[in-house]
Amino acid sequence: MIVTTSWYLILAALIFAIGAVGLLVRRNPLVMFMCVELMLNAVSLTFVAFARDLDDIGGQVSVFFVLVVAAAEVVVGLAIIVAVMRRRPGATADDLSVLRG
Buried b (16+ CB within 10 A) or exposed e, 87-100: eeeebeeeeeeeee
Q: Which domains does the chain have, with CATH numbers?
A: 5-90 (1.10.287.3510)
Distance between CA atoms of residues 61 and 49, nearest Å: 13
Indicate the residue type of 39: M
Q: Is 88 helix (H, G, I), strand (E, B) or coil?
A: coil
pLDDT tens per residue across span 33-57: 889 999 999 999 999 999 999 988 8
Distance between CA atoms of residues 42 and 40, nearest Å: 5
The DSSP secondary-structure symbol of 95 reads G
- Quick one: CA dihedral 63, 67, 100, 25, positive or negative? positive
Task: Provide the pLDDT for residue 99.
Answer: 67
User: Which residues of the chain carry a pLDDT beneath 50?
Assistant: none
Distance between CA atoms of residues 9 and 79, nearest Å: 33
pTM of the model: 0.81
